[in-house]
């Protein structure tokens, strides 16, 4: 890795020597690109001058372009909108406000670069709201995270999971930001759906390779979601009624000056309502038969207010709250058990942003995030007596009288709370040199777990209580970062950045520097990129390798538990055809990770959150490399996207696999995703996604080692993760109908088929022990397949 860095720096120095500055007079043209109807910003809109030079707007639609004085034609464009052109003589610094009108475009994901015009290479994927709401999805839910999984280099942890595994990283190594607030989980319980309604998200920035220095704290990826501001010109809304969830969005202006807007979104499941009667039956135990009941539900709500001052300073306040409920009841004549799980997420963020000086930019924000889980369990034992009914004309069931003998209850709670603030400044020292810098302060409060146990024995009501508490120190994180964006020549741009991080947990200090370097190149329709990113992660997740886990308990890097570290080099090449609408990008990466952890505590131990240190494997290493291919083609009403990844991912822990390298559990060699969107007419659109991927890694039993004086009998299964689950493939289909009404409102209906040909994809394997005719123990291998064909239907009304 070190030699690679030296080579990269050598290349940079050589290119710098060829850099030429031209003696011309430049002026700055700044402004905003916004939607004409709603006045919402259009992120990363393209602003080009006649020679192809120019800039992209930032996440909030602000742009700044340096031009030589003189006559120029400026072209402003954005996917799905009509292009506008501004022509005139530019003799002094100028400010523009560009309002784009929606056009009949079906552009999907834009692949573009951030910053100056000298590069347009894939290092950040920006996913528009239109794209993520147009894909077929589970339960007809436009799901932002599932939309990311059609991109190369990204796969799920397990099939039923909205967890992301990016370029060989871990499920806990992705940074999810919603309007600047970092979330600890992105999916609702069981991870079938992500925490956000797709209709509220304006766009998602995804960084899997080069991470700009303003981002940090996670090794694998950054998923920066910006939520919409709401329509500033008129009140509008959308109601959606589906089989699994229903949701509503309401947005509009506040006041008559059209400077303030609000956006509210609520969503809830209602499967629980159908089961109220069944729940009562199980709780009553009115019959002497075994009975059980399981129900799951969630609800979430977003609210956002955005205000633009007279000086065009943007102020916002965003609040999110979500709650998941899982209830399991089981009764037998002698026992009753109930488990109720709650997961709650809250994220509140507020911030301001605006132009700084003639063409600079600043942002400031603060956030509060909390995540908690509570598990309540109750186990009761009864004696019972069946009292026959009195003789009468109509036979009645006997009355069952229960007497409570004992009762064991427990309440477990785990929580993490973060409070932070961040500032960012961006400006130009000259037209070839821009800088971006800032700082961040985060205070983190950890409560790994608190378990209260209570036992009662009747008669007499003898009570015993016990409390187990997991402890982890609180932490502070202070960050300073700086990035230089240098235009070396009309074809080359160099981004050089450094992120300095100080972490304090208990009495343990860590001071780390994360260098980030990116060399971008553009010539005609070709683009290229070479980048290096070092990242540190100061939090460890108590994760068992393949366990489907609804909530992760986080602990800080502290004494004896070093921060995770990654170094990644990536090289990319892209071609964007001019006249024909197709593009292709290829990117290769190599990543090394250090100080990884993995939990192997007894899953049945009730105090695992307090004794995690005993079961935590530390100082693990990881390495991943691969090639990603991304192609896009569009013709009239049809667009097709293809993503293919060829990848390797390995891990090494001293206490696993005899200290040798082994394939990671999520090491999928091949992964192919084909996405098609076909607009059949102005009212009908059809969608399809086909996934094909190598099966996840596993171990299959090869023999039984009999019990001996030194060990219990166990299953022999070769080296760790040497086998694979069967090939994974799945087709999702969708059909949407949208009928505009004369008054501007519209009706919509959407039909989706998840896993259309009902492929039983195995997500985990297990062995069944049984005795054969000779009384010998034999094993049968079973695979558990989740999520068969699932139809869904949604009606919507938009006003």
Partner 1 sequence: MNRSNTCLLVVFLSLLLSCELETDVNLDLPPFEPAWSLVGFVGPGSPIELSIQAILPPQTGIQTDMPPPLAEGEIFVDGKRKLSFLPSNDSLIQLPPLVLTAGQRVHLHIQLANGDSIVSEEDIIPEKAWLSSASYSFEDSSENVIHLDWDLGDKPQTGYLAVKLVKIDSLGSALSLDETYRLASPFGPLSDVDNFPPSGRFSFHRFEPTNLSQSSPLSGAWILLYSLSETSYAFFQSLNLYDFTYGDIYQQQIPVYTNLSNKLGLFGAYQVDSLYVPFE
Least distance from C-beta 163 to partner 1, angstroms?
13
Pairing relationship of beta strands 314-331 and 335-356 according to DSSP bridges: antiparallel
- Residue 7 or 714: the one with the smaller Cβ distance to partner 1 is 714
Residue pair 794/749 in contact by the 8 Å Cβ criterion = yes
Q: Which is nearer to partner 1, 303 or 656 (CB)?
A: 656
Q: Which is nearer to partner 1, 706 or 744 (CB)?
A: 706
Q: Which one, 558 or 792, has the nearer CB to partner 1? A: 792
State which residue, 178 or 762, has the beta carbon closest to partner 1: 762
DSSP state of 11: H
Three-state SS for 6?
A: helix
Residue 660, helix vs strand vs coil: coil
CB of 719 to partner 1, least distance (A): 6
Least distance in angstroms from the C-beta of 389 to partner 1: 35
Which structure tokens are listed for 30?
């700044």
Least distance from C-beta 503 to partner 1, angstroms? Answer: 23
- 261 vs 761, which CB is nearer to partner 1? 761
Q: Which two tokens stand for residue 322?
A: 């979500």
CA 550 to CA 546: how far, in whole Å?
12
Residues 519/11, Cβ–Cβ less than 8 Å: yes
Task: Report the half-sphere exposure of 579 (CA within 13 A, side-chain side).
Answer: 0
Least separation in angstroms between residue 614's CB and partner 1 is: 8
Whichever of 397 and 605 has its CB closer to partner 1, that residue is 605
Contact present, 113 and 636 (Cβ < 8 Å)? no
Question: DSSP character for 199?
Answer: G
Please report which helix (H) or strand (E) contains residue 390, including its range.
Answer: none
Q: Are 766 and 719 in contact (CB under 8 A)?
A: no
By C-beta, is 346 or 790 nearer to partner 1? 790
SS3 state at 737: strand
The SS3 of residue 649 is strand
Among 551, 547, 542, 700, CA closest to 614: 542
The C-alpha angle 585, 587, 591, rounded to 5 degrees, equals 160
Helix ranges, 546-686 (H):
612-615
What would you measure as the largest C-alpha separation in the chain, in angstroms?
Answer: 110
**All residues at 6 or more sequence positions from 776 whose CB lies less than 8 Å from its CB, including other chains:** none
> Least distance to partner 1 from the beta carbon of 274, Å?
9
User: Nearest approach, Cβ of 729 to partner 1 (angstroms)?
Assistant: 15
In angstroms, give the least distance from the CB of 599 to partner 1.
9
* Least distance to partner 1, CB of residue 693, Å: 18
Contact 278, 256 (CB under 8 A): no
Determine which helix (DSSP H) or strand (DSSP E) holds 513, and give its type and residue range: strand 508-523
Kindly state the tokens that stand for 692.
């094909």
Buried b (16+ CB within 10 A) or exposed e, 719-734: ebbebbbeebebbbbb
The two three-digit tokens of residue 64, written as one number: 């700044």
Rounded CA separation 291/285 (Å): 8
Residue with Cβ nearer partner 1 (399 or 770): 770
CB atoms under 10 Å from CB of 394, counted, come to: 5
Q: Which is nearer to partner 1, 284 or 547 (CB)?
A: 547
CB 693 within 8 A of CB 730: no
Among 424, 2, 499, 436, smallest CA distance to 218 is for: 499
Shortest distance (Å) from residue 697 CB to partner 1: 8
Supply the minimum distance, in Å, between the C-beta of residue 709 and partner 1: 6
Nearer to partner 1 by C-beta: 468 or 586? 468
Cα 238 to its chain centre, rounded Å, is 24
Cβ 210 to partner 1, closest distance in Å?
A: 32
| 636 vs 773, beta carbon nearer partner 1 | 773
Give one word for 190, left, alpha or beta, with left for phi > 0 and alpha for psi -120 to 50.
left
Contacts of 758 (CB under 8 A, 6+ apart): 788, 789
Cα separation, 768 vs 774, in Å, equals 17
Q: By C-beta, is 53 or 546 nearer to partner 1?
A: 546
Q: How many CA atoms lie within 13 A of 594 on its CB side?
A: 9
Please give the Cα distance from 279 to 257 (Å, whole number). 52
Q: Closer to partner 1 at the Cβ: 323 or 759?
A: 759
**At its nearest, how many Å lie between partner 1 and the CB of residue 605?**
9
**Three-state SS at 173:** coil
- Which CB sits closer to partner 1, 352 or 751? 751
Choose between 288 and 457: whose C-beta lies nearer to partner 1: 457
CB of 269 to partner 1, least distance (A): 13
* Minimum gap (Å) between residue 245 Cβ and partner 1: 12
Task: Check: CB of residue 236 under 8 Å from CB of residue 745.
Answer: no
Closest approach, Cβ 680 to partner 1, in A, equals 18
Min CB(777)–partner 1 separation in Å: 5
In the structure encoding, which two tokens stand for residue 580, read together?
Answer: 């024909």
Minimal CA–CA distance to 725: which of 689, 763, 759, 751?
763
In terms of CB distance, is 358 or 702 closer to partner 1?
A: 702
- Whether residue 459 is preceded by a cis peptide bond, meaning omega within 30 degrees of 0, is yes
């Amino acid at each position: 890795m070190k030699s690679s860095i030296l080579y990269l720096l050598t290349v940079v120095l050589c290119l710098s020597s060829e850099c030429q500055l031209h003696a011309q007079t430049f002026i700055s043209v700044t402004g905003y690109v916004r939607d004409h109807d709603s006045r919402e910003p259009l992120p990363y809109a393209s602003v080009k001058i006649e020679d192809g030079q120019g800039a992209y707007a930032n996440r909030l639609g602000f742009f700044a372009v340096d031009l030589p004085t003189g006559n120029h034609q400026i072209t402003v464009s954005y996917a799905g909108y009509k292009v506008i052109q501004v022509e005139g003589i530019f003799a002094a610094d100028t400010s523009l406000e560009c309002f784009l009108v929606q056009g009949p475009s079906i552009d999907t994901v834009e692949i573009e670069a951030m910053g100056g015009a000298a590069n347009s290479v894939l290092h950040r994927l920006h996913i528009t709201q239109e794209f993520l709401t147009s894909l077929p999805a589970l339960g007809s839910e436009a799901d932002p995270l599932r939309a990311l999984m059609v991109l190369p280099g990204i796969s799920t942890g397990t099939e039923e999971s909205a967890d992301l595994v990016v370029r060989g990283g871990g499920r806990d190594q992705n940074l999810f930001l919603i309007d600047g607030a970092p979330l600890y989980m992105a999916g609702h319980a069981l991870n079938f759906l992500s925490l956000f309604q797709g209709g509220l998200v304006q766009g998602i920035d995804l960084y899997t390779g080069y991470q700009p220095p303003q981002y940090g704290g996670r090794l694998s990826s950054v998923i920066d979601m910006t939520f919409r501001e709401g329509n500033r010109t008129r009140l509008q809304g959308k109601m959606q009624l589906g089989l699994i969830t229903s949701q509503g969005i309401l947005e509009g202006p506040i006041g008559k000056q059209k400077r303030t807007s609000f956006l509210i979104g609520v969503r809830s499941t209602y499967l629980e309502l159908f089961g109220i009667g069944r729940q009562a039956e199980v709780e009553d135990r009115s019959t002497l038969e075994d009975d059980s009941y399981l129900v799951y539900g969630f609800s979430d709500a977003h609210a956002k207010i955005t205000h633009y001052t007279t000086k065009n300073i943007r102020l916002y306040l965003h609040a999110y709250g979500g709650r998941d409920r899982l209830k399991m009841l089981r009764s037998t004549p002698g026992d009753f058990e109930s488990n109720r799980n709650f997961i709650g997420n809250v994220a509140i963020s507020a911030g301001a942003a605006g132009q700084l000086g003639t063409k600079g930019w600043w942002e400031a924000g603060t956030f509060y995030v909390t995540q908690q889980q509570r598990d309540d369990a109750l186990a009761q034992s009864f004696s019972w007596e069946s009292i026959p009914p009195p003789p009468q004309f109509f036979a009645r069931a006997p009355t069952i009288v229960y007497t409570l003998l004992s009762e064991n209850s427990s309440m477990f709670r785990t929580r993490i709370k973060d409070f932070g603030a961040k500032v960012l400044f961006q400006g130009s020292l000259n037209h070839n040199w821009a800088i971006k810098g800032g700082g961040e302060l985060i205070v983190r409060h950890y409560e790994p777990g608190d378990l209260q146990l209570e036992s009662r024995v009747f008669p007499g009501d003898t009570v015993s209580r016990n409390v187990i508490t997991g402890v982890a120190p609180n932490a502070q994180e202070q960050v300073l970062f700086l990035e230089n964006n240098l235009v070396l020549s009309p074809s080359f741009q160099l981004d050089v950045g450094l992120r300095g991080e100080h972490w304090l947990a208990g009495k343990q200090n860590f001071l780390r520097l994360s260098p980030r370097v990116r060399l971008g190149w553009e010539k005609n329709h070709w683009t290229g990129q070479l980048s290096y990113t070092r990242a540190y992660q100061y939090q460890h997740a108590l994760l068992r390798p393949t366990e489907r886990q609804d909530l992760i308990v986080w602990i800080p890097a502290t004494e004896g538990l070093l921060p995770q570290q990654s170094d990644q080099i990536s090289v990319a090449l892209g071609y964007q055809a001019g006249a024909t609408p197709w593009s292709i990008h290829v990117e290769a990466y190599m990543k090394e990770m250090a100080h990884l952890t993995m939990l192997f505590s007894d899953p049945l131990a009730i105090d695992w959150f307090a004794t995690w240190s005993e079961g935590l494997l530390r100082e693990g290493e990881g390495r991943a490399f691969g090639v990603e291919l991304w192609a896009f083609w569009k013709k009239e009403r049809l667009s097709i996207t293809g993503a293919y990844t060829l990848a390797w991912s390995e891990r090494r822990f001293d206490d696993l696999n005899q200290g040798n390298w082994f394939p990671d559990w999520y090491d999928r060699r091949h992964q192919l995703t084909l996405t098609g969107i076909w607009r059949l007419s102005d009212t009908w659109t059809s969608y399809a996604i086909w996934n094909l991927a190598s099966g996840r890694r596993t171990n299959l039993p090869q023999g039984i080692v009999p019990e001996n004086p030194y060990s219990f009998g166990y299953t022999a299964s070769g080296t760790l993760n040497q086998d694979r689950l069967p090939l994974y493939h799945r087709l999702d289909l969708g059909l949407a109908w949208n009928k505009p009404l004369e008054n501007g409102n519209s009706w919509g209906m959407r039909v989706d088929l998840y896993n259309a040909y009902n492929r039983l994809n195995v997500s985990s394997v297990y062995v069944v022990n049984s005795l054969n005719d000779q009384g010998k123990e034999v094993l049968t291998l079973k695979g558990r397949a989740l999520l068969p064909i699932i139809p869904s239907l949604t009606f919507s009304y938009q006003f």
